């Protein structure tokens, strides 16, 4: 993989990389399309990274459908697919990792304390192997993009990071590989996540500036809709992810909940325009 991209770079080609864990949906494909449009050659990666899953999370049952994924990527014009085995990425004795930046401690970090260390490590390894000019990530994982941007800056990784908008199903549910876990009834409950974000955004746009009240109302709406449990609901500064109370635009609204055993996240920016 490294040699392929080295050859491309020597020939003056601009290379884009789209890291994923597979089980691809239109969200992933939007990243791939952006790369195909904006660069000369696109490398997608599929690797279900064990180090970003905590014990008891869904590593073993995470959906895997490599042949189908390969077809989907080829269909949008991706040129190379890199899907290494786990023992190639983490050979026996491998023991160095990235200490994720401070911004990883909030929100997701409170509930999944080892997650972003695993993400930062695998993303750096993939960027080192592939060596792209640009790498594409989704705003769906808002904090992840912030962590990766900071890592790339702090560790002088020579790559441009591009964040792409959240792709949703027509009913508003943010696309996720984990949505396949949801029963029809759970899916209805899960719609309250995007519904809660939409309503909160409207209330902020119409002048509500009380961050505490907003979070309280959002939590209540989610509970009333039947979510199983809430990890966090936040109205935060889009750069620092610190609580925004009183609300000063722009802010980002972030939600992480369980519907049954499925953990779902979503977010939305509210900006002055
Ligand atoms: P994953 O396979 O879940 O690790 O996701 C791979 C990349 O796709 C990450 O950069 C995600 O943020 C992005 N992604 C996942 N779901 C969506 C979505 N609904 N819209 C846009 N990007 C997404």
pLDDT tens string 232-253:
999 999 999 999 999 999 999 9
For all residues of the chain together, what is the average pLDDT? Answer: 98
Active-site residue 28, yes or no? yes
**pLDDT score for 16:** 99
Q: Whose CA is nearest to atom 10 of ligand 1?
A: 137
Q: Which of 206, 205, 260, 199 is nearest to 233 (CA)?
A: 199
| Cα 89 from Cα 154, distance rounded (Å) | 23
Torsion sign (Cα): 196, 202, 203, 205: positive
Q: How far is the CA of 24 from the centre of ligand 1 (A)?
A: 9
Q: Which of 16, 17, 18, 20 has most ligand 1 atoms within 8 Å of CB, for mutation?
A: 20
Instruction: Provide, for the chain, the percentages of residues in helix, strand and coil under a 3-state DSSP scheme, each rounded to the nearest 5.
Output: 45, 20, 35
Please give the share of the chain, as a percent, with pLDDT higher than 70. Answer: 100
Q: What is the mean pLDDT of the segment spanning 57-78?
A: 97
Please give the share of the chain, as a percent, with pLDDT higher than 90. Answer: 100
DSSP assignment letter at 167: P
pLDDT in tens, 170-188: 999 999 999 999 999 999 9
pLDDT in tens, 117-158: 999 999 999 999 999 999 999 999 999 999 999 999 999 999
CATH: 3.30.470.10, 3.30.1300.10, 3.40.50.1110, 3.10.129.10. Which one for 177-270?
Answer: 3.30.1300.10
pLDDT in tens, 261-270: 999 999 999 9
pLDDT in tens, 12-35: 999 999 999 999 999 999 999 999
CATH number attached to the domain at 2-164: 3.40.50.620
Q: How far is the CA of 144 from the centre of ligand 1 (A)?
A: 10
| Cα 217 from Cα 201, distance rounded (Å) | 12
| Cα 91 from Cα 29, distance rounded (Å) | 30
**pLDDT score for 205:** 97
Q: What residues does ligand 1 touch, defined as CB less than 6 Å away? A: 20-21, 27-28, 30-31, 137-138, 140-141, 164, 166-167, 174-177
**pLDDT score for 67:** 98
**pLDDT score for 245:** 97
For the chain, which residues make up each domain, given as ranges?
2-164, 177-270
Q: Which of 270, 247, 265, 269 is nearest to 109 (CA)?
A: 265
pLDDT at 273 over 90: no
């Amino acid at each position: 993989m490294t040699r392929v991209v080295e050859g491309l770079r020597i020939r003056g080609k601009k290379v884009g990389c789209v890291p994923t864990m597979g089980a691809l949906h239109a969200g992933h494909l939007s990243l791939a399309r952006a790369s195909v449009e904006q660069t000369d050659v696109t490398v997608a990666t599929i690797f279900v990274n064990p180090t970003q899953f905590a014990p008891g999370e869904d590593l073993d049952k995470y959906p895997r459908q490599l042949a189908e994924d390969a077809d989907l990527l080829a269909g949008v014009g991706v040129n190379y697919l890199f899907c290494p085995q786990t023992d190639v990425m983490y050979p026996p004795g491998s023991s160095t990792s990235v200490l994720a930046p401070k911004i990883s401690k909030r929100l997701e970090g409170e509930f999944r304390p080892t997650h972003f260390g695993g993400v930062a490590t695998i993303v750096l390894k993939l960027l080192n192997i592939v060596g792209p000019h640009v790498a594409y990530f989704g705003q769906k994982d808002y904090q992840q993009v912030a962590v990766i941007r900071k890592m790339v800056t702090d560790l002088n990784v020579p790559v441009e990071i591009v964040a792409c908008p959240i792709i949703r199903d027509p009913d508003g549910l943010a696309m996720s590989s984990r949505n396949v876990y949801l029963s029809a009834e759970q899916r209805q409950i899960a719609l309250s996540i995007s519904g809660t974000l939409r309503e909160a955004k409207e209330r902020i746009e119409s002048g509500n500036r009380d961050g505490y009240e907003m979070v309280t109302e959002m939590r209540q709406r989610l509970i009333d809709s039947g979510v199983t449990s809430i990890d966090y609901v936040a109205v935060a500064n889009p750069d620092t992810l610190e609580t925004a109370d009183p609300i000063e635009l722009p802010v980002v609204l972030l939600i992480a909940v369980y519907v049954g055993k499925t953990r779902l996240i979503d977010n939305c920016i509210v900006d002055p325009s």
